[in-house]
Amino acid sequence: MIRVGCGFDVHAFAVGRRLVLGGVEIAHSHGLTGHSDADVLTHAICDALLGTLGLGDIGVHFPDSDNAHKDADSLTLLTQTVNTLREAGGYVVNVDVSVALQYPKLAPYACAMRERLADAMNIKLSQVSVKATTTEKLGFVGREEGIAAFAVALVEVTDD
């Protein structure tokens, strides 16, 4: 059986934090606010994967009320999410994520992001797609107040 899940996440920019997207540190004047490393891209993928099998969302599995996840590396959370998926009989076929931000430009980092994400999920590079877009200066993204990410995951289920 094949299952599809979608994920969405948003984080506001914050001074004094590093910007991490897809497990890669990005050179920028601001990072993102959050309990973990605030990797909005990776969080959207976690939600998409969990959604494929109706396993809740990232907040259920890694609540911000739990200090064990304070400043956590989101790639570690992604690996744990994939392990949870596998325990339920699910295997990642592919993930596709779009990141909405005005700046910085992500093209120079996209390959490294795909590599880090594929490694964290123990899948091939060809099974991971990372894209970026602007919002043409519209909304909170256009005003450079934060970043949004949308992810879709396809999972094959061997046990349901």
Which residues participate in the annotated binding site? 9-11, 35-36, 43, 57-59, 62-66, 133-136, 140, 143
Quote the CA–CA distance of 74 and 149 in Å, as a whole number. 14
Nearest to 95 by CA among 82, 77, 112, 108: 82
Query: How distant is the alpha carbon of residue 23 from its chain centre?
Result: 9
Quote the CA–CA distance of 47 and 49 in Å, as a whole number. 5
Nearest to 57 by CA among 120, 9, 119, 94: 9
Quote the CA–CA distance of 134 and 121 in Å, as a whole number. 27
Annotated binding residues for a divalent metal cation: 9, 11, 43
Quote the CA–CA distance of 12 and 35 in Å, as a whole number. 12
